[in-house]
Amino acid sequence: MLIFGFHIKTSSHLHHCHSSTMVRIPEVKLSSGGKPMPRIGVGTAVFPFASSEAMRATILRSIELGYRHFDTAAIYQSEEPLGAAIADALRAGAIRSRDELFITSKLWCSDAHPHLVLPALQKTLRNLQLEYLDLYLVHWPVSTRPGKYELPPAKEDLLPIDMSAVWRAMEECHALGLTRSIGVSNFSSKKLETLLSIAKIPPAVNQVEVNPLWQQQKLREFCVAKGIQVCAYSPLGAKGTHWGQNWVMDCGVLEDIAAAKGKTLAQVRTVR
């Protein structure tokens, strides 16, 4: 399983690492046959969602330290700082080419309409200053009224999603070479089953919340059986967000394990 920490750390938290001690992050092949995905990635969402120079600097520092997988989304307002940090890294020689990175972004609910999928991806690529994504995800199995970027969306803006037509538009984005792989986020087993019944290109990834206290065993088993890679967000419980809780970071069992192993709680929280 892949893991994302969806709270971006300040650069001061990264200074204990040094490029001379970097180890290569393991990768996993995706069903779409695109570039292998690093198993550990850097999530670029801060809450409340906002863009900042601190974010740009932190992402650049992460690249310098050896991170190669970065996750963003239209709703996060982090696409532009990520794109700027990638340009900085190229100029500074921290990476030789954009192809060394694995970049994921997501289609927001207000763009989850067949005629808006391609324009939304094109806007994302402009924000990132990139020619293609490595992975593009349908952020939620929901559509909302076009033009609004809100989380949570207002009840009156919720609309039924035409998943078949939206997925055809995602497949067209793949065919155009604008994204190397396509997938989904926050999909249940039932919704995945429906999607698999109509997809010409199966989703390569399902990104969902997974942590030691919310292990999603049934969903993970389903995805393994269907060849869908599970990617875990909020592995520390997303403390401080409206969707998160403190159970992971305040878990006495995990604290005892960390103390016994001489590690931080974050280092021992990986779900197997």
- Report whether 104 contacts 137 (CB < 8 A): yes
Question: Which residues contact residue 92 at a Cβ distance below 8 angstroms, ignoring those fewer than 6 apart?
Answer: 60, 64
CA 75 to chain centre: 12
Q: Of these residues, 67, 76, 132, 233, which one is catalytic? A: 76
Task: Please indicate if the annotation marks 115 as binding a ligand.
Answer: no
The DSSP secondary structure of 205-253, one letter per residue, reads EEEEE-BTTB--HHHHHHHHHHTPEEEEE-TT--TTSSS--STTTT-HH
Cα-based distances in Å from 256 to 12, 128, 195, 237, 263: 26, 42, 42, 18, 10
Do residues 215 and 234 touch, judged by C-beta distance below 8 A?
no
Q: Give yes or no for a contact between 144 and 91, defined as CB atoms under 8 angstroms apart.
A: no
Number of neighbouring beta carbons within 10 Å of residue 97: 7
Report the C-alpha dihedral over residues 119, 163, 6, 252, rounded to 10 degrees.
170
Task: For residue 149, indicate whether it is catalytic.
Answer: no
Q: Are 196 and 202 in contact (CB under 8 A)?
A: yes
Q: How far apart are CA 59 and CA 103, in angstroms?
A: 12
- Separation CA 29–CA 39 (nearest Å): 10
Q: How far is CA 9 from CA 37, 215, 230, 247, in A?
A: 22, 24, 23, 20
Residues catalogued as catalytic: 76
Binding site residue list for substrate: 139
